Structure 1
Amino acid sequence: MPLAISHMGIVLGIFVILWSGMTAGFGLYLQSRCAQYLDRGSASFFALSQITYPNAAVIFDAAIAIKCFGVGVSYLIIIGDLMPGVVQGFVGEPAYDFLVDRHFWVTAFMLIIIPLSYLRRLDSLKYTSIAALVSMAYLVILVVYHFIIGDTKEGRGPIRVIHWAGAVPTLSSFPVIVFAFTCHQNMFSILNEISNNSHFRTTAVVLASIGSSAATYILVAITGYLSFGNSVGGNIVGMYPPGLWATIGRAAIVILVMFSYPLQCHPCRASVDAVLHWRPMRSTRQRSEGSPHRHPLLPGGPRGLRTPEPMSDLRFSVITTSILILSYIVAMTVSSLEAVLAYVGSTGSTSISFILPGIFYYKISAPDSPAHQRLMKEDDEAEEGYVSGASDDEGAQARPLTESGILRRHTRNWRRVLLRKMSLGLAIYGVIVMITCLVTNSVFLASH
């Protein structure tokens, strides 16, 4: 973040952070709205694909699986790269050479990661997530502390407040900020497990997570940049004077990524399972000729869509073990995934954050969509005071709409239309971001 600010200037950098947080938060909000069209506890990219773009479901889930797998591998590589320096920072030159061997540390930390990756629910990772948040808090405190005491001013470069370093450096830092808010792969799991999934509660969760992240990024970006100026590097923790606190900071990064790996394994496993379950949809004519299957979530006739089956213990174990073994092998044999992760992040993260939430909501909220009609009817009945005075057989009577009720219905319809247009705008924005990131990565990698 401090390096990104150095390229953009403080004013533009803060704006980009806030803009990226708003767009990512809107993507999360659309995911929560899409989940309303699904049965409680069944929300997933796969389930939405089945009622929007069923024949493309395998592509969506494959992109999510590859993205999460790549990020998980990068975490293992970070552990292997940082731990030798952490050991040397604490004990100096160790007596045994294996203590500064990256392969040893990747293997050692896998022993901690493996049992955490076999937990089925995100809720089971709440304590490790707290430990990861504590580690991140320490890193923030470390950056702010060095800024306050001013021990980095010697050799500090100039400061850009309004001016920027140019279009190319700015565009090269743009993906860093955009992808810093990518957490959308776990949103549906949170919506499935949260005890209160009301619209107010889920919106509050989105605002709290995005708001706290944006505030943290801005704080670290400004204080870190003002500490080193344009001399700041990509890893600000590595720029501080050698010592105990900086070594603890490196260890905090290791703890942070170690406990973040299971959070990538969870959606990766679900997406791999969805890919393995996927079958191409039959034609409309075939579905209309008496298919006995109805969509599990929508009324209105046969659709030929399958209900996602719960993952069996055997299938769960096989997929998880495969992910762990493959990620371990890649992390042990490859020391840098810069090129691969650059393209995986540009496509996978952009798809998950912007394109999929946008197109899913745009499709599922169409006025002629059975799901949308059902949900709209339920909302109208709940808010306009429809009451059943008798059973359906006896004929239920509805309370007539008042003038204020008609106004509220008109306002709701207006909001729905606006939200649908904005969702399409988010998907288009995602395509623009993807193209920008792919071009920037190509230019950056070619220059190196």
Structure 2
Amino acid sequence: MELQDPKMNGALPMGAVGYRQERQGFLPSHNPAPGRKPAQFMDYQGKTSFGMSVFNLSNAIMGSGILGLAYAMAHTGVLFFLALLLCIALLSSYSIHLLLTCAGVVGIRSYEQLGQKALGPVGKVVVATVICLHNVGAMSSYLFIIKSELPLVIGTLLSMDPEGYWYLTGNFLVIIVSVLIILPLALMRHLGYLGYTSGLSLTCMLFFLISVIYKKFQLGCVVGRNETAVGSNSTLGPPIQGLNGSCEAQWFTVDSQMFYTVPIMAFAFVCHPEVLPIYTELCRPSKRRMQAVANVSIGAMFCMYALTATFGYLTFYSSVEAEMLHMYSQKDPLILCVRLAVLLAVTLTVPVVLFPIRRALQQLLFPSKAFSWPRHVAIALILLVMVNVFVIYVPTIRDIFGVIGSTSAPSLIFILPSVFYLRIVPSEVEPLFSWLKIQALCFGVLGVLFMAISLGFMFANWATGQSHALGH
């Protein structure tokens, strides 16, 4: 349901007036026109404070992508990585600016509805498909973490070698967790208390960051082997520290794996489908206030990502894996606690991610049908089976980050917001060849190039076998 500002009456000229009132630039001025009341996003006034909105959007940004950032730094270099991360953060903030501008024109509060307003029914289908693809990728990354980390945790607690018992293998355990824990939660009709797991997830990732920093100072440089790969019956010696040239940071480097790293960074900043719902709930909603929420959230996540990547890379250097948590000792008590915390967070987050996929599928495939338990259950089962099969056969989490980061991430961050802006902002206000629309067009073209180049190099790696040769 589209929520229209009554002052607009659904007409573009009045929308143009609302747009003029709402548009205050990417870094908006604090001096509204004299005698004019600033335009509001909609009549509905949310009750969520500025601080809580920052927390909610930070939760939406934070995800499993943080585990792959040290790998991204290893294949770009410290300075190049930080520069790329900053660019993606700034571009993500600009993208939110485009979304908020479009929302200010038409008074719509959902990503899918903006797609319908910009491109008609086809636009709604395209947007819903992209969001479903991204959430399926997020579910896959969470289940892959369960697949790779749960055997290590159980093996450590039981003093058993996970490789020696079929019921401790990752593929078996991820199916058991999906059936016994995730499926019952996914069958709930409403999210309810599951919405609070986003806070748990952010807390766990903060714990992960603190542990990564602490372990850097405790271990120094760890090169030469991955202790988790050593059997439980072997004697684990002290970490190998500073024995060769591997313990030297690369400030700038380019290799074939770099085309996995940029999608990993893009994947880590996707939050755009949640921006407009958070905007709706914001107390005293305005474009300036919501842009400030976005800037603070993205800035905080940039700092967290940069610290995690830097300290993780400076611990393992070029030997770091795409799933950094897998690099630490299986028998370290602190890392065991981190693994347990991360496993709890991702297990409880999978049903939360599944809900919007099922809602989108029901709206697309059964828009006029009443709620049906058989359909509700069937969609959840099909999604979980599909994602489990995907996770079982994908060799590394890097491939999940790479594919989703090269397809849905540039679509949600670059391409769709620019299309919305070009189609929704009235030509009476911004002519087609105005600087702002040319800027938005270039932004969308950048997203298309980013998608094409990343996918092209990944497919080339798969075709030549480099992906499997470098996989862990």
Shorter-normalised TM range: 0.7 to 0.9
1:331 and 1:271, CA in 2 relative to 1: closer, same or farther beyond 3 A?
closer
For residues 252-291 of structure 1, the aligned pairs below 5 Å read: 252-276=341-365
For residues 240-251 of structure 1, the aligned pairs below 5 Å read: 240-241=328-329, 242-251=331-340
For residues 23-102 of structure 1, the aligned pairs below 5 Å read: 23-39=91-107, 42-57=108-123, 58-93=125-160, 98=167, 102=171
Contact residue 103 and residue 332 of structure 1 kept, 8 A: no
How many angstroms apart in 2 are the aligned matches of 1:348 and 1:213? 20
How many angstroms apart in 1 are the aligned matches of 2:251 and 2:415? 31
What is the percent sequence identity of the aligned residues?
Answer: 24
Shift of 1:318: 5.8
- Aligned with 1:324 (options 351, 360, 380): 380
How many angstroms apart in 2 are the aligned matches of 1:206 and 1:122? 24
Residue-by-residue CA offset, 1:254-275 (whole Å, 9 max, x unaligned): 2232233244224323432342
1:258 and 1:236, CA in 2 relative to 1: closer, same or farther beyond 3 A?
same
Q: What residue in structure 2 maps to residue 337 of structure 1?
A: 394
1:22 and 1:125, CA in 2 relative to 1: closer, same or farther beyond 3 A?
farther
Shift of 1:208: 2.2
Shift of 1:17: 0.7
Contact residue 264 and residue 401 of structure 2 kept, 8 A: no
2:214 aligned with 1:145, yes or no?
yes
Residue-by-residue CA offset, 1:129-161 (whole Å, 9 max, x unaligned): 111111101110111001122344534514344
More displaced, 207-216 or 336-345? 336-345
How many angstroms apart in 1 are the aligned matches of 2:364 and 2:277? 17
For residues 69-218 of structure 1, the aligned pairs below 5 Å read: 69-93=136-160, 98=167, 102-108=171-177, 110-114=179-183, 117=186, 125-153=194-222, 154-156=240-242, 157-164=246-253, 166-218=254-306
Shift of 1:98: 4.0
Q: What residue in structure 1 maps to residue 65 of structure 2?
A: none
Q: What residue in structure 2 maps to residue 386 of structure 1?
A: none
Contact residue 354 and residue 429 of structure 1 kept, 8 A: yes
Contact residue 85 and residue 100 of structure 1 kept, 8 A: no
Which amino acid in structure 2 is aligned with residue 81 of structure 1? S
How many angstroms apart in 1 are the aligned matches of 2:404 and 2:377? 22
How many angstroms apart in 2 are the aligned matches of 1:53 and 1:189? 21
How many angstroms apart in 2 are the aligned matches of 1:108 and 1:343? 25
Matched residue pairs, number?
368
1:344 and 1:2, CA in 2 relative to 1: closer, same or farther beyond 3 A?
closer
More displaced, 353-362 or 69-78? 69-78
Contact residue 48 and residue 360 of structure 1 kept, 8 A: yes
How many angstroms apart in 2 are the aligned matches of 1:30 and 1:123? 31
1:331 and 1:123, CA in 2 relative to 1: closer, same or farther beyond 3 A?
closer
Which amino acid in structure 2 is aligned with residue 223 of structure 1? F
Contact residue 207 and residue 338 of structure 2 kept, 8 A: yes
Which amino acid in structure 2 is aligned with residue 237 of structure 1? L
Residue-by-residue CA offset, 1:358-401 (whole Å, 9 max, x unaligned): 11012101324xxxx7xxxxxxxxxxxxxxxxxxxxxxxxxxxx
Shift of 1:51: 1.9
Which of the pair has more CA radius of gyration? 1
Q: Which secondary structure state, in structure 2, belongs to the residue aligned with residue 8 of structure 1?
A: coil
Shift of 1:106: 3.6
Which amino acid in structure 2 is aligned with residue 224 of structure 1? G
Shift of 1:423: 2.3
1:129 and 1:196, CA in 2 relative to 1: closer, same or farther beyond 3 A?
farther
How many angstroms apart in 1 are the aligned matches of 2:260 and 2:147? 26
Which amino acid in structure 2 is aligned with residue 444 of structure 1? N
How many angstroms apart in 2 are the aligned matches of 1:11 and 1:355? 27
Contact residue 86 and residue 250 of structure 1 kept, 8 A: yes
Residue-by-residue CA offset, 1:26-56 (whole Å, 9 max, x unaligned): 22232222222344xx522331122211153
Shift of 1:11: 0.9
Contact residue 73 and residue 330 of structure 1 kept, 8 A: no
1:196 and 1:92, CA in 2 relative to 1: closer, same or farther beyond 3 A?
farther
Contact residue 77 and residue 252 of structure 2 kept, 8 A: yes
- Tell me the C-alpha RMSD between the 2 structures: 3.2
Residue-by-residue CA offset, 1:276-333 (whole Å, 9 max, x unaligned): 268xxxxxxxxxxxxxxxxxxxxxxxxxxxxxx8x95x16x56653442123213444
Contact residue 186 and residue 267 of structure 1 kept, 8 A: no
Contact residue 51 and residue 364 of structure 1 kept, 8 A: yes
Q: What residue in structure 1 maps to residue 452 of structure 2?
A: 435
Contact residue 198 and residue 349 of structure 2 kept, 8 A: yes
Shift of 1:78: 2.7
How many angstroms apart in 1 are the aligned matches of 2:252 and 2:405? 28
Q: What residue in structure 2 maps to residue 425 of structure 1?
A: 442
Shift of 1:202: 1.3
Shift of 1:357: 1.0
Shift of 1:119: 6.9
